[in-house]
Chain A
């Protein structure tokens, strides 16, 4: 299955290699570099590259290319999914998945990779099991370790791998028992020039942070579970209970995890929280253009829309922008040609507006297409679909946990065409 893994940074340096079978020379990455050169952006490097003797399957994440070497037939998604798990595990262990953090913790990284794959086949990919095997680094521990010479490797052998609840370690103890759930919904939308909605859908996730002692058995029920149309579950969720009773029943992993992700029933109309009035035009004469954007709150269910950012990828010929915002700040990066207008909170009475002129490269023909606007926003304490958690019950343990649910609505891929 997976033969080798190379980590490559954006400068094209291979800064880590790991082989699970016999060693493959790193020159195999030349094929990857070739493909990378051909691609205009890192996102456009084909995920699967065929070379005379190997296949390279790669992902691009957090400015790092994870390039794996395959020799025989294997489902590509199998490898891609695994590589993302590796990246997530780094994130989980080091707080960020970056070249620096990987280099700083190269030994732990190596130990992790060793445990995650055996002969190229995934062995332990559950964060709870791995954390029993290899303790995540903390500042305190690394200081203590250098003095006492004790280790990062768990002294006790992990029990998780043997259990039928492999995602939860045994003997968890907390003085404060708490369980928090975040219901986060994202609106994906395409709004066309005239302001009509081309497509709008809501995708949601429920992320949990559960710190409970022992082996709690939780049941989360909803006021309106039918809203959730298509779900994917963490392996801990009992599928049958959901099918029969529409409740989420599970023995949770310890710590942070994603309980479910869902898609809101397509029949429901999606409330679009903002209305964007825009006018961008370019003139042939004088090599200039005009820009006028107003963002108004629309269907907000009485909540405040915050963190509004409008991003515009300008055509190559736009040299600079001279604009005046009535609220917030704007920034135009002439290298990446990205105009970002950070508005912040949306004011009901006085809708923020950004107006001014753009100057174009002289001599170049005026751009034919107007750039589309990407909107980012947040609404606290609201799940835009109307999904509501009814209650959380705990069985199997005696103590009374502290429970909490938070709602958040964000813009996902929210695009306004112009």
Chain B
């Protein structure tokens, strides 16, 4: 578009562009076109007392604004209607006001009082909309009013108003950056908000106002992770991107150890691939040696686990956000999950494809293996837009290796015949890159490219020449006939870049083709004046090189060319000519350098490395605008490097709120609907939690480790000394009594703390896992064993209760061959023994999982534990609550099942609640810690469901609170014995 038309547009288009179409536009109405110059009729309509006329006028005005016409002279007439009763008129007036307030600041002030009144309205939606418009009016005088309004709205009852307040923060900040400190206070307050509605908006405000204040996130980190899945999709994108940055500052690199090893091997295979710098490696190696074995921070794991389901989102931006999070934060072994989701996005609109392919191109350089299974998804269709084709080509090239190169080359062959010449050129370059990176196919590629030299399309030939030149540089001796062939092409090829490349080749390898080279120079000297600049430079080069090697034949030619160049219009060429002449033509004045001329010109040149343009782009956060442009965009926040030493993780511990607070009505209601939807296990509160966590264990490696607090942790870090389990238990109990005090403890304590903290943030569903002593260290002669019911499904047999056993050797000699022998069991019971422990060195702890089928009875399982020297007789007796597992059920299903389990199968007891056991949350917590049940999402009553592990008989528990401390407990169970015992246990737990 020319500048003149832009000028027209600038004037608001009032002159030429839009005018003719006016009459046809129904929205602007017929009268409008004739009366366009005067807005008098509009003013009249606005002043009338008929709403329909006002509406008509406002509609026309909005249509003008939409078309970019100036309607500012109507401001006084419009602003009068700001308090109009008609809701549509009012909305359109708002639209107008926000658009023109900046230009008519004084008049805009007239409307402020209306909004101030609106801020006090009892209806939350009116309060919100008043705040929204007020904060959108860009008039600096009202900054204090806005600040006040935002502060008030931030503590509004309604989460919707609080959300609007979060939206208003960046508006005020852009209007007056001096308010930053005060706004940060508001942000801090809103960050603590527990509703999903607010979370996304406030993080957006945080990112715009104070992204550097990472410290504000600590306390809210776990909450954000847990709420994430229920936040609306746009908020999810912002939160995930922010948490990626946060995690980079707080956790350790999960790949620090592996990256070393793998890089080493990869190098051997693909020499040209990566050159990270050896020093770095050595340094890293030293570091690794020093560092303790890596253990992932449970908070790090929490983030990875809670974002994973979002890969299934329908929103491409969310999927991309999770993908980049995994790419930047996950251990190498887990990154693979994102490939499938990213490939899925390629089915979407071409713009989405474009962005996704850019990111895949960057990822496929670092993590080639991830996309290899999806190679065929990157095959190109003739109907793809060129920019998509080129990107797919890039990815295919990155994915090429010894095993798939033949398939890829076959595919490339079909592309070369395409009608889209830009794409063909890109394909030729891609072939060149494959040839350099994979030695085996270099000759095949070269031959293929040479055939292309006889292509009819000049562009194709030119591109091939350039690529062949690069390939030949690697082993010129073997290919003198190709060079000869190319020398002949100078007669035909006109593309300057290709001519220059050929000339350079001939000059460089003139010794391989001593007969042809001088002839080429002769021809070039003839046409020198008509050549392009880059060609001229190469002619000079060729002349110089020939002069040095074969001065007899070429002396005159060279001097002729140099003379021509001396008077060239381009100063570069003149310079070069002068320089070359001084170097190669010996004169009395020529300095010492000319002796070395041959060395200078004919030095062995390193072969060029054909690199992907996407190499190293991952120092930008993937998925970001800056990554796409490969340049830093305004407001881009650098992705920090992993810290060497993890900062204190206890900053993320949260003071535990009172249970009663949690169960305030609003929150409860929300949970009721949301919970069964998606929320991930422990994080989010959950009546359904235990049921969820079952299914969850399968999905992520090591998930559930936080719950038990040690399982996977101890596996990963055998070196790290496990703290005494008993001590840990005690700590935990103390904690749940005093309900949280901040503490700064070392890692074990923290893990424990996390489990209680994350439960509280949400719900007390699965209570602390109680551990029992099986063998005391005195009787065990140094060997102590404790066990607990981990409430995880036993993987080999679903009818077994899994018992997690922890062996600690407190003695000073090693214990060998720990195994179970001669179980003495009641009929129907079975034991799945743990694999034998070969050696347990002194001071070490090992955790094993064993499965026991108690056959739905509380009979004890007796067995012998043998070491290489001794035998111990041991007994495990399960509490009745551990003989069941949670079942997910809706309220209706629950009622239906309950109806079938009446009479003998129903036991009802009245009870008095203990003093410490008040509030729904506390009751839920007590019940779920007594028995492995899951809460049924329903109204005020508390219902829990489970089934016995062996026979799968349903266990249904209902608790109805009557008055202050009186409640009624009902248990329905087919197995009466279990029912009776369960009633006893729950009664005891609740009345304490």
Interface members, chain A 116-138 (any B CB < 8 Å): 118-119, 121-123, 125
Q: Is A301 an interface residue (CB 8 A)?
A: no
Q: What CA separation (Å) do A365 and B458 show in the bound complex?
A: 13
Q: What CA separation (Å) do A13 and B91 show in the bound complex?
A: 28
Interface members, chain B 216-269 (any A CB < 8 Å): 229-230, 232-234, 237, 241
Q: Is A114 an interface residue (CB 8 A)?
A: yes
Among B55, B241, B695, which residue has its beta carbon within 8 angstroms of that of A75? B241
- Decide: B123 and A157 in contact? CB cutoff 8 A: yes
Contact with B along A26-56 (1 / 0, CB 8 A): 1101100110010011011011101000010
Residue of B nearest to A14 (CB): B68
Q: What CA separation (Å) do A368 and B68 show in the bound complex?
A: 50
Q: Is B978 an interface residue (CB 8 A)?
A: no
Contact with A along B317-351 (1 / 0, CB 8 A): 10111000000000000000000110010010111
- Decide: B62 and A73 in contact? CB cutoff 8 A: no
- Decide: B132 and A118 in contact? CB cutoff 8 A: yes
Q: What CA separation (Å) do A29 and B912 show in the bound complex?
A: 73
Q: Is A106 an interface residue (CB 8 A)?
A: yes
Q: Is B605 an interface residue (CB 8 A)?
A: no
Residue of B nearest to A189 (CB): B381
- Decide: B385 and A43 in contact? CB cutoff 8 A: yes
Assuming the A-B contacts A106-B66, A114-B95, are A119 and B385 also in contact, with contact meaning beta carbons closer than 8 angstroms in the complex?
Answer: no
- From residue A283, how far is it (CB to closest CB) to chain B in Å? 16
- Decide: A121 and B201 in contact? CB cutoff 8 A: yes
- Decide: A107 and B59 in contact? CB cutoff 8 A: yes
Q: What CA separation (Å) do A26 and B12 show in the bound complex?
A: 8
- Decide: A230 and B344 in contact? CB cutoff 8 A: yes
Q: Is A151 an interface residue (CB 8 A)?
A: yes
- Decide: A26 and B385 in contact? CB cutoff 8 A: no
- Decide: B625 and A73 in contact? CB cutoff 8 A: yes
Q: What CA separation (Å) do A48 and B387 show in the bound complex?
A: 12
Residue of A nearest to B230 (CB): A164
Assuming the A-B contacts A30-B6, A161-B160, A417-B414, are A55 and B385 also in contact, with contact meaning beta carbons closer than 8 angstroms in the complex?
Answer: no
Assuming the A-B contacts A14-B68, A367-B419, are A258 and B86 also in contact, with contact meaning beta carbons closer than 8 angstroms in the complex?
Answer: no
Q: What CA separation (Å) do A75 and B699 show in the bound complex?
A: 28
Kindly list chain A residues whose C-beta atoms are within 8 Å of the C-beta of B725: none
Interface members, chain A 67-120 (any B CB < 8 Å): 70-78, 80-82, 84, 103-107, 109-111, 114, 118-119
Q: What CA separation (Å) do A41 and B422 show in the bound complex?
A: 13
Q: Is B678 an interface residue (CB 8 A)?
A: yes
Among A12, A25, A71, A103, which residue has its beta carbon within 8 angstroms of that of B25? A103
- Decide: B678 and A190 in contact? CB cutoff 8 A: no
- Decide: B892 and A48 in contact? CB cutoff 8 A: no
Q: What CA separation (Å) do A121 and B695 show in the bound complex?
A: 35
Q: How many residues of A contact B (CB 8 A)?
A: 115
- Decide: B626 and A73 in contact? CB cutoff 8 A: yes
Assuming the A-B contacts A22-B102, A34-B1, A110-B66, are A122 and B313 also in contact, with contact meaning beta carbons closer than 8 angstroms in the complex?
Answer: no
Kindly list chain A residues whose C-beta atoms are within 8 Å of the C-beta of B6: 27, 30
Kindly list chain A residues whose C-beta atoms are within 8 Å of the C-beta of B385: 41, 43-44
Q: What CA separation (Å) do A51 and B401 show in the bound complex?
A: 38
- Decide: A151 and B381 in contact? CB cutoff 8 A: no
Kindly list chain B residues whose C-beta atoms are within 8 Å of the C-beta of A231: 312
- From residue A99, how far is it (CB to closest CB) to chain B in Å? 10
Q: Is B628 an interface residue (CB 8 A)?
A: yes
Q: Is B148 an interface residue (CB 8 A)?
A: no
Identify which of B472-480, B541-549, B629-637 touches chain A: B629-637
Q: What CA separation (Å) do A44 and B457 show in the bound complex?
A: 22
Q: What CA separation (Å) do A4 and B900 show in the bound complex?
A: 62
Residue of A nearest to B376 (CB): A199
Q: Is B504 an interface residue (CB 8 A)?
A: no
- Decide: B376 and A230 in contact? CB cutoff 8 A: no
Residue of A nearest to B311 (CB): A232
Contact with A along B589-630 (1 / 0, CB 8 A): 000000000000000000000000000000000011110110
Q: Is A21 an interface residue (CB 8 A)?
A: yes
- Decide: A104 and B678 in contact? CB cutoff 8 A: no
- Decide: B204 and A230 in contact? CB cutoff 8 A: no
- From residue B755, how far is it (CB to closest CB) to chain A in Å? 21
Q: Is B354 an interface residue (CB 8 A)?
A: yes
Q: Is A369 an interface residue (CB 8 A)?
A: yes
Kindly list chain A residues whose C-beta atoms are within 8 Å of the C-beta of B87: 151, 153-155
Q: What CA separation (Å) do A118 and B165 show in the bound complex?
A: 11
- Decide: B314 and A235 in contact? CB cutoff 8 A: yes
- Decide: A78 and B234 in contact? CB cutoff 8 A: yes
- Decide: A59 and B349 in contact? CB cutoff 8 A: yes
- Decide: B344 and A48 in contact? CB cutoff 8 A: no
- From residue A199, how far is it (CB to closest CB) to chain B in Å? 4
Among A77, A111, A234, A315, which residue has its beta carbon within 8 angstroms of that of B320? A77
- From residue B101, how far is it (CB to closest CB) to chain A in Å? 10
Identify which of A175-183, A238-246, A320-328, A401-409 touches chain B: A238-246
Assuming the A-B contacts A73-B624, A73-B633, are A47 and B66 also in contact, with contact meaning beta carbons closer than 8 angstroms in the complex?
Answer: no
Kindly list chain B residues whose C-beta atoms are within 8 Å of the C-beta of A258: 314
- Decide: B92 and A107 in contact? CB cutoff 8 A: yes
Kindly list chain B residues whose C-beta atoms are within 8 Å of the C-beta of A103: 25, 27
Q: Is A290 an interface residue (CB 8 A)?
A: no
Interface members, chain B 87-114 (any A CB < 8 Å): 87-89, 91-92, 94-95, 99, 102
The contact sample of 12 A-B pairs, CB cut-off 8 A, is: A14-B68, A22-B102, A26-B68, A27-B10, A72-B634, A72-B635, A73-B633, A162-B124, A198-B376, A239-B678, A241-B676, A263-B344
Having A73-B626, A165-B673, one finds 8 other A-B pairs with CB under 8 Å, namely A80-B317, A106-B62, A109-B66, A149-B51, A164-B673, A230-B341, A232-B312, A368-B417
